[in-house]
Structure 1
Amino acid sequence: MKKILIIAIIVAAFSIAGGLPSAAQTKVPINVKGADSMWGRVRSLALLYMKDHPQVDIAVSANSLVDEGMKALIAGETDVAMASRKITAQESEAAKAKGLQLDEHVVGYGGIVIITDQENPVNELSIEQVRKVFTGEIVNWKDINGKDQAITVFKSGEKHPGTLLFVESDILGGVPITKSAITLPDFPVIIKKVPETAGSIAYARMRDPFPGPASRIKLLKIRKDEHSLPVRASRETIGDGTYPLRRPYYLYTAATAGKDVRSFVDFVASKGWQEPKLTHQW
Structure 2
Amino acid sequence: MKKRNIFSTLLMLGAVGAVLTGCGSNSASSNGSSSASDHAGKITAVGSTALQPLVEKAAGQFQNDNKKINITVQGGGSGTGLSQVQDGAVAIGNSDIFAESKPGIDSSKLVDHKVAVVGMAPVVNKDAGVDNITMAQLKDIFTGKVTNWKEVGGKDEKITVVNRAEGSGTRATFEDAVLSGAKAVKSQEQDSNGTVQKIVSSTPGAISYLAFSYLNDSVKPLSIDKVKPTDANVENNKWKIWSYEHMYTKGKAKTATADFLKYMNSKDVQDSLVKKMGYISIHNMKVQKDAKGNVTDAK
Q: Normalising by structure 2, what TM-score?
A: 0.64
Deviation at 1:236, TM superposition (A): 4.7
Which range is displaced more, 235-244 or 70-79? 235-244
Aligned to 2:115: 107
Secondary structure of 1:164's counterpart equals helix
Measured after TM superposition, the shift of residue 279 of structure 1 is 7.1
| 2:293 aligned partner | none
Counting aligned pairs with the same residue, the percent is 20
Moved more, 267-276 or 33-42: 267-276
AA aligned opposite 1:218: K
Pick which of 58-67 and 130-139 moved more: 58-67
Letter in 2 for 1:41: L
Residue 84 of structure 2 corresponds to residue 72 of structure 1: yes
Could you tell me which runs of 5 or more consecutive residues in structure 1 were left unpaired when the two chains were aligned.
Answer: 1-25, 224-229
Shift in CA distance, 208/74, structure 1 to aligned 2, threshold 3 Å: same
Cα offset, 1:151, TM superposition: 2.8
The equivalent residue for 1:16 is: none
TM alignment of 1:14-53, pairs within 5 A: 27-29=39-41, 31-35=43-47, 37=49, 38-49=51-62
Cα deviation, 1:175-199, whole Å, max 9, x if unaligned, reads 34201x2335654554444455444
Residue by residue over 1:10-48, the C-alpha shift from the partner in whole angstroms, topping out at 9 and shown as x without a partner, is xxxxxxxxxxxxxxxx83435232125233322332344
- Corresponding residue SS for 1:92: coil
Aligned to 2:211: 205
Alignment partner for residue 272 of structure 2, among 270, 275, 279? 275
Q: Could you tell me how far apart the structure 2 residues matched to 1:70 and 1:236 are?
A: 29
Question: CA, structure 1 residues 79+244, in 2 after alignment: closer, same or farther (shift >3 Å)?
Answer: same
Aligned to 2:223: 221
- Deviation, structure 1 residue 250: 0.6
Q: How many corresponding residue pairs?
A: 239
8 Å contact 2:147–2:158 — kept in the other structure? yes
Unaligned runs of 5+ in 2: 1-37, 280-299
For the residue of structure 2 that corresponds to 1:247, the secondary structure is strand
TM-score (norm 1): 0.67
Q: How does 1:1-282 map to 2 (within 5 A)?
A: 27-29=39-41, 31-35=43-47, 37=49, 38-49=51-62, 54=66, 57-87=69-99, 88-93=101-106, 101-146=109-154, 149-157=157-165, 161-179=168-186, 181-183=187-189, 186-194=192-200, 197-208=203-214, 210-211=216-217, 217-223=219-225, 230-238=226-234, 241-258=237-254, 261-270=257-266, 273-276=270-273, 280-282=277-279
Aligned equivalents of 2:194 and 2:73: distance in 1? Answer: 22
Q: Structure 1 residues 117 and 74, CA, compared in 2 at 3 Å: closer, same or farther?
A: closer
Is the CA contact (8 Å cut-off) linking 2:110 and 2:250 kept in structure 1?
Answer: yes
Which range moves more in the overlay, 164-173 or 270-279?
270-279
Give the AA of the match of 1:43: E
- 1:227: which partner in 2? none
Give the AA of the match of 1:44.
K
- On the 8 A contact 2:112/2:249 being kept in 1, the answer is yes
Question: How far has the Cα of 1:221 moved from its partner?
Answer: 1.1
Higher helix share: 2
Please give the root-mean-square deviation of Cα atoms over the aligned residues, in Å. Answer: 3.5
Q: 1:138 to 1:63 in 2, by over 3 A?
A: closer
